[in-house]
Structure 1
Amino acid sequence: MAEDITDELAELAFLLRLLRSEAGVTYDELAERTGVSAATLKRAASGGAVPALKTVRVFAQACIGDGQEWAIGRAIGKWRRARVVERGRLRSVARPVHPTLVETRGELSAALVYHYEAGGAPSLRDLQEMAGGAHLLPVSTAARIVTRQSLPASRQQCEAFLAACGVTKGRKAQWGEAWSRVTRSEHARADERKTQASERREAIDRRLARNAPAYTDPQGMAGLVAGLAPAPARGEWHSAWFAAPMRTGAVAERPSKRSVRRV
């Protein structure tokens, strides 16, 4: 693994040095253009450790000319590979199924985490910036996605997250369709549950209206309340009163003394 990280770092450092050489600028001049200290820029191009993604981005941006935007993407790509090797977590993350085969929230959530790790696990701020800003991917939302607490709130947000992770445009659209499919089926199941609950409530209401008018008629309810007997004394129970079925709409009668049996 040490050899792998050394190779990846060497490729990143070589590219950054090449860009600076072709731009013909010093580290001090780069520092003025980027707002990053010259010492930090030198360390980024030294190959000693994986630099921050933001440092790599501004380093490349400050060195390129018109028509050389590809150099930024290449520098970020090399940073991603070096970062993956440095973290060493991608091997333990299950590779996702093809986007067209995703059917559940769990499968989609696991796929997003995989692409996050494959993209070098950028910081949440870097994710937000590369996704297009806070209006597309708030930091709090990015945190919930990478910790598998929730899915993106929209297809646009899902694709923005994947773009920040370095997923290609074509594959990003396929994952966006997977998001739409999963959430659409969830909404359908939720609507079905609401319909079933509504039907159950309506069935109960119809049953009460048909079999228990005393409970729906204010006068009948008043009669029931007026006819209720006091709670039985300790050690007593009103067998005749409670065992006898109550006629619909009738007022309950107090039990006679003969119906009361002392235990």
Structure 2
Amino acid sequence: MLHDSLDPFLAHIRRCNTAIVPGARRRITAGNRSFGLADPRVFDAMTAFGYAHGGEFHLPDGSALQPLGEKLAALGLFRPHDELFDVFDTDNRVIGRIDRGALPLLGCTAAGVHLNGLVETPDGFSLWMGHRAQNKRLDPGKLDHLAAGGICTGLSPMEALIKEAGEEAAIPPALAAQASPVATLRYAMERPEGLRQDTLFCYDLVLPRSFTPQPVDGEVAFFELMPLERVFEIVRDTDDIKFNVNLVLIDLFLRRGLFSPQETAELRQALGQ
């Protein structure tokens, strides 16, 4: 095996599952549907907007969500991303939409896609890794997947994957569409921006050796092709990779047989699989 202890891998998983729910947060409903947990930083604003009801916050319906996000951004409570994301109730039904930057403050669930860009070489599999731009607001300069991003309003996971693959790495749509869904991961994490309750739809794509990804939208400074064993060592020995990318990579290592059966069972349990 390529390692002596599971502790570094379990530590990455624990770091993505630090949330105490509900903690000091208050439940939010829209109509009769529960959809989030408000951060204490928005309590005064939500009360001023007339949404406080008996220790909770209540919006008339889902159509109030987008205007709510605009009001919270105008107060400087979050920096808008100018991307609308669907808001889901606790039964996983879409009830409205809001700027993605508001999701952690309101404790809403969010979904994203992550692409393992694999290349088969005579020495085994390698993985394309992106070096995040230094001006990224989240984890600047860290290693990232070939393509990853949130699922905007109205897109399916595969449609979001094709969009992100083209925008971030110049992967043609027909090639990106060959990606295979391999895992769905979930975590609940305390972050400076609030509560991250994320669902990650993970894909594998085996790319031709002749293909070289190119940064397009500036989110990635450059790409580097690394042997899978080298990526394994970086996950094991460092914190150089964006926090949630570690989870997707651990799943990849499990599927590639880099752990013993007993270790695999322990890590899968930790990942909630």
Structure 2 length-normalised TM: 0.26
Larger radius of gyration: 1
Structure 1 length-normalised TM: 0.26
Greater relative contact order (Cα < 8 A, sep 6+) = 2
